[in-house]
Amino acid sequence: QVQLVESGGGSVQAGGSLRLSCAASGYTKKSYCMSWFRQAPGEEREGVASIDADDNTAYADSVKGRFTISKDDAENTLYLQMNSLKPEDSAMYYCAAAEIRLWSGDVCLEGRADFAYWGQGTQVTVSS
């Protein structure tokens, strides 16, 4: 059984930092992408950052230069380092996993891959 469990959310002031974690268990696909998505109340879900098994990465324009996605294969954990946070970064953040054949940053970032597994989300609130 595949499980994705996010942690690390919280409340920070603008300009602050947070690191989100997504602990994965039971996922055995060799070719995959994992993405961070976020959704604020009344807004559509947005892809934030994606990474594949070979550490190719893709970022939404809104977070480039501020957020860094990474993973620790030994620990089966996905991370999202978020720096220089802005109030508009406030949202529920979700990690998700999809099996892919070839890396495509756009496909993974925009949620067009088959993201069969999702975490429960972790809330990030940035105050001005």
pLDDT, averaged in runs of 10, over the chain (128 residues)? 95 98 90 96 96 96 98 96 98 96 91 94 97
Query: Kind of pairing, strands 122-127 and 10-13?
Result: parallel
How many whole angstroms separate alpha carbon 87 and alpha carbon 81?
16
Distance of CA 125 to the CA centre of its chain: 16
> Residue 92's pLDDT is what?
98
Strand partners, 18: 82
> Residue 64's pLDDT is what?
98
The DSSP result for 35-92, as a single string, is EEEEE-TTS--EEEEEEETT--EEE-TTTTTTEEEEEETTTTEEEEEE-S--GGG-EE
> Residue 27's pLDDT is what?
85
> Residue 28's pLDDT is what?
80
> Residue 60's pLDDT is what?
97
Query: Kind of pairing, strands 32-39 and 91-99?
Result: antiparallel
